[in-house]
Chain A
Amino acid sequence: MAYLDTAGINTGINAIAAAHPGLAQVVILPEKSVKNKTIRGLRLRAGSAVSRRGALIVGGVHARELVNPEAVLNLAVKLTDSYAASTGFNVGGKTFTWNQVKLTMETLDVFLLPLANPDGREHVQKPGGYPMWRKNRANLAGTGCIGVDLNRNLDFLWFEVLGATSDVPCDDTFHGPASFSEPETRNIKWLLDSHPHIRCFADVHSYSELILYPWGDDDAQSADSSQSFLNPVWNGLRGTAGGYAEHMFSKDVTRHHKTGEAIRDAIAAVRGRSYTVEPSIDLYPTTGTHMDYSYSRHLARPDLGKVYAFTFETGREFQPAEAEKLEVIKEATAGMMQLLVHCICAIDLIGVDLFGAQRLDDMRRFRDEVMTKSVVGRSLIEVLDEHSAEVGELLLADDRLRSRATKLLEACWNRIESGRTFDARIVGLASKLIEDLRPVVSPELRRSLDRAAKTAVGFKGKRVEAGLKVKTDWMQLHQVRSSESS
């Protein structure tokens, strides 16, 4: 029935980094806890790719939920040990392959913050403390109360006190005197601000066997973008039945739900327990949560990238007994790892071995500086973005498909780099790949592939700029950049 204490978790973080110095680095968060404790995380990565997606996983926000910091630490152990040994790993009945481990480590920056609230954990575990403490240990001057619920303190509709959010200082869900009033939540903001390539996020809580996704303040709808957390006209009208629903593009609803289902399936493979995937609002309205804040950032500031965000509610109690604790750690590890696999970009997946970091960076620049300027280009980017996880899984599982995709990407990029026209061979390779994919993909991806096939025909006999219908000359842009850098 024993758990790691705060010192033990810090020892573990340091030990993992010391055992795998090329794979794991300790990240010291800029702000200490309210009781002046240094807060540590890990960054896991391998290989030389400079430009990569990031993922952030946070545990231990709520003090009494003891199992999750250990689960986050376990993920770090599994990933680093497996990568160092060039193997996959098992958690219960769930297997992650060497390919998945390799691609996770070589194409992502994995940020792990096992214990976001060390003061709270210390209070839970010390003699004379309180084992069911939830909040941090901020002394709320003039109130006689202690603690802020860190998962209500972020800047997402913080001012709206809905449902399971409170403005009464002694309540367990007190949202604090201001948004980001607490150093522990400012650390999360710092991680997201300082690493704008983070695209996937999970905040791991207990309990109830749930995978939650945004929104938490109200139902989601995709028809009216004016019904938004950004629109003050709706202040005071959120979180109640009827009248208001928070806008989210349908493709994001789908992406969240499908990723959630993949996480659920990975967890179920551990020992057969089926977590429920649903929007957070289906439970109870909330504001100021890590999940909603992380996802909402790109809407509040369009210059920021989109972060797909989740809350896990692991297990069936806060502090399970030893045998059950080990099973919950396995389930959470499987769920977090599946999220990381879904965070891998399909182009990274097939390009990392073929092209190396520099050419992959060139490809990303081409996407950002040329393709985004064209309706055709943006639609192709959207297809890849929307279906990246499904395509990635298929390519990981099927060497023949991966080989075909690699050949197509290589042939396309050679023509883009050399300024040559897209010939019949390219169209043939694209058609063959689509033909192979069609029988094994979801109906949504099949529809997208059919649209992409029609688009591909439009490139035949043209240079890429003409196919995309853009005036930007990639060759000229690329050469100017090359001469500047040399």
Chain B
Amino acid sequence: MRYFVMVEADADQAFESLGNLGVDLFLGTSHRKERRVEALVTMEEVGRLVDLGFRVTVLEGENRRSRAIEIISFADWLETVR
């Protein structure tokens, strides 16, 4: 199980170092000036990030944002977009 989180850093250098920690960062949500970025991490990774001095806010469990399983046929899809 992984969690959608917001990771925040106090300093530019710490924020830049996030990229080297092997966590699943969502580049599109980051902004250098604000030093914050969303990520998808395990609880172990949350602990590691907190130990390294980052603020981590858990937003949601990944299953709350997973809508991949239900499949639609092209014919039905076409009706919904037309």
A binds B: yes
Name A residues whose Cβ lies closer than 8 Å to a Cβ of B: 1-5, 8-9, 11-12, 15, 64, 66, 70, 74, 77, 81, 124-125, 127, 129, 131-132, 134, 162-166, 168, 170-173, 205-208, 210, 240-241, 282-286, 313, 317-321, 326, 329
- Asked whether, in the complex, the Cβ of A132 is within 8 Å of the Cβ of B77, the reply is no
**With A1-B67, A2-B76 already in contact, 10 other A-B pairs whose C-beta atoms are closer than 8 Å:** A8-B71, A11-B73, A12-B74, A125-B71, A132-B62, A206-B28, A207-B28, A284-B25, A318-B65, A329-B81
B31 CB contacts on chain A under 8 angstroms: 282-283
User: Given the known A-B contacts A15-B74, A284-B37, A326-B81, are A127 and B69 also in contact in the complex, defined by CB atoms under 8 Å?
Assistant: yes
The tally of residues in B whose CB lies under 8 Å from a CB in A reads 35
Interface residues of B in 9-47 (CB under 8 A from A): 12, 16, 19-20, 22, 24-33, 37, 40
Q: In the complex, are the beta carbons of A168 and B68 less than 8 A apart? A: no
Q: List 26 A-B residue pairs with CB atoms under 8 Å apart, sorted by A's residue number.
A: A1-B70, A2-B70, A2-B72, A4-B72, A15-B78, A64-B68, A66-B68, A70-B77, A77-B78, A131-B66, A131-B69, A132-B66, A162-B19, A163-B16, A164-B19, A164-B30, A165-B19, A166-B19, A170-B22, A171-B22, A207-B29, A208-B26, A282-B32, A283-B30, A284-B30, A318-B65
- A140 to B25 CA separation, bound complex (whole angstroms): 22
A484 to B15 CA separation, bound complex (whole angstroms): 64
Complex contacts, A163 vs chain B, CB 8 Å:
16, 19
Per the bound structure, the CA–CA distance linking A74 and B26 in Å amounts to 25
Choose from A66, A168, A208, A319 the contact partner of B28 (Cβ within 8 Å).
A208
B73 and A8: CB pair below 8 A?
yes
Give the shortest distance, in Å, between A270 (CB) and chain B (any CB).
13
CA distance A317 to B16 in the complex (A): 24
Of chain A, the residue at the smallest CB distance from B40 is A132
Roughly how many angstroms separate A5 CA and B77 CA in the complex, as a whole number? 11
The answer to whether A74 touches B68, judged by C-beta atoms less than 8 angstroms apart, is no
